[in-house]
Amino acid sequence: MPIFKLDASQTLTTDLQTAWEFFSDPHNLAVITPPEMRFEITGEPPSAIHPGLIITYRLTPLPIVPLRVSWATEISQVNAPFYFSDDQIAGPYALWHHEHHFQEVDGGVRATDQVHWSLPLDPISAPIANLAVVPQLRHIFRFRARTLRELFGELNQAAPTLSIRSL
């Protein structure tokens, strides 16, 4: 089972508490998800995360294939206001572990995402990873970076970074 790693980072012109309040509110997932994915939370999560919180939602992960998918993630770790992680407990991936890091820097907050993921049905799914999933994840995280720039501003000297590689 090939495992991929996504790294995305950008520096936002906001303070640590404001960044934390935004990212730790599950309702804001819809704000930073491309609209064509039709993201909708299916449960009633609280306005702030905590360890053990399970968030359920539906979305269209690959809009070129109009298949709606149910997904559930569990908030596994929280170290407010610096870090939290979530793990898929039901959904389209064989593995999905997403870490969110926040660090105060001169003029703002560096928001960093690290995602380890893999697809089920290896080796059948290997072509799908490179042909569809990697481009879609790039699209999602570029959309997210643009949206965050519009919401918070961004420091020019620290442009967003995005990389996806096989481990």
CATH code of the domain covering residue 102: 3.30.530.20
Its pTM stands at 0.94
User: Would you state the pLDDT for residue 157?
Assistant: 58
pLDDT at 150 over 90: yes
Range of the domain at 135: 4-166
Reference 102, options 7, 29, 9, 5; nearest CA is 9
Find the mean pLDDT for residues 16-26: 98
**Spacing of C-alpha 75 from chain mean position:** 12
**Cβ atoms of 7 and 113 closer than 8 Å:** yes
Beta bridge partners of 95: 118
Give the pair of three-digit tokens for residue 95: 């593995």
User: Would you state the pLDDT for residue 133?
Assistant: 93
Residues above pLDDT 90, as percent of the chain: 83
Beta bridge partners of 12: 109, 154
pLDDT at 158 over 80: no
pLDDT band at 155 (very low <50, low <70, confident <90, very high): low
pLDDT in tens, 71-126: 999 999 999 999 999 999 999 999 999 999 999 999 899 999 999 999 999 888 88
Number of domains in the chain: 1
User: Would you state the pLDDT for residue 14?
Assistant: 96
User: Would you state the pLDDT for residue 111?
Assistant: 96
User: Would you state the pLDDT for residue 21?
Assistant: 98
